[in-house]
Amino acid sequence: MSHDRLAGMSLIVTGGASGIGRAAALQFATEGASVLVADRDVDGGKQTCDEILTSGGHAVFHRVDVTDEASVEAMVAASIDSFGRLSGAFNNAGVSEPTSAFEDTDLASWNDVLAIDLTGVFLCMKHEIAALKQTGGGAIVNTSSVAGLTAAPGRVAYTAAKHAILGITKYAAREHARNGIRANAICPGLIDTPGLRASMDEASFASLAERTVPGRIAQPSEIGDVAAWLLSSESSYVSGETIVVDYGGITR
């Protein structure tokens, strides 16, 4: 792996305040990119930027609501204003819903998850593609999930959104290939994020890790590294693809 494979690139990372988004932003900056860290969590987003700046990288924070088109449009404009152009983006912002049976799923919860996880990715892609077309192309990476390939038990909205992300990723890749724009999706499995840690006690976490094929749960940086590769010229002939980062899943 080249340590400067993203040198000279300007990238947007949504959901950059914590977890996979923070790890990816740090990875991109380490590899030479200038990063716009976008999130609705101002404190967390600024902390990510501070970590990048402290390590000698280049980053700015921009508060965004990915469900609001004007906010997304302003985010893309801020990236161009800050760094001169947009080279690519990692659309990673997402949420899930409380578990429930399909027939007990609350409509408000369904709408909230779809608004962030699917409409948010659509809006980001819409305005990122418009910007990338102006400067000869670039790369987009979207965060889906292994739930986009199978199902997340008790989470029908999350499952639906993550499946749909794969569809719009493939659509964009096909439509904009001759505009020099690549689009790919990552499907992470279990990742050691603050959200996962908060959802269970230490014993349950250890038990879950033991059930995985390698006996451990992935670190967010392992997703960030795959995203960096997909954004770089090392994957120049990879587009419309779904990359599963799950080490074979959980054994039963």
**C-alpha distances in Å from residue 179, one per residue of 126, 132, 137, 196, 198:** 14, 8, 6, 38, 43
Within-domain flag for 202: no
pLDDT at 2: 47
pLDDT at 158 over 50: yes
Tell me whether residue 233 is in a domain: yes
SS3 of residue 182 by DSSP: strand
Instruction: Look at residue 90 in the predicted model and tell me its pLDDT.
Output: 99
Q: Is the pLDDT of residue 77 over 90?
A: yes
Confidence of residue 221 (pLDDT cuts 50, 70, 90): very high
For residue 83, tell me if it sits in a domain.
Answer: yes
Residue 5 placed within a domain: no
Domain enclosing residue 184, as ranges: 10-192+220-244
Does residue 146 belong to any structural domain of this protein?
yes
Question: Is 70 exceeded by the pLDDT of residue 251?
Answer: no
pLDDT at 196: 80
Please state, in angstroms and rounded to a whole number, the distance separating the CA atoms of residues 232 and 41: 27
Locate 76 and state its tokens: 């893309």
Over residues 191-200, the pLDDT tens digits come to 888 878 887 8
Are residues 148 and 191 in contact, defined by beta-carbon separation less than 8 angstroms? no
The model's pTM is 0.95
DSSP 110-138: HHHHHIIIIIHHHHHHHHHHHHHHHTT-E
- We report the CATH number of the domain holding residue 181 as 3.40.50.720
Q: What rounded mean pLDDT belongs to the chain?
A: 95
- For the chain, the domain total comes to 1
Q: Is 250 part of any domain? A: no
Q: What percent of the chain has pLDDT over 70?
A: 98
Q: Where are the alpha helices (DSSP H) in 115-219?
A: 120-134, 156-175, 194-198, 202-211
Alpha-carbon distance of 141 to 147, in angstroms, equals 17
Determine, yes or no, domain membership for 210: no
Asked if the structure places residue 16 within a domain, the reply is: yes
State yes or no: pLDDT of 1 exceeds 80. no
Active site residues: 158
The predicted structure's pLDDT at residue 212 = 86
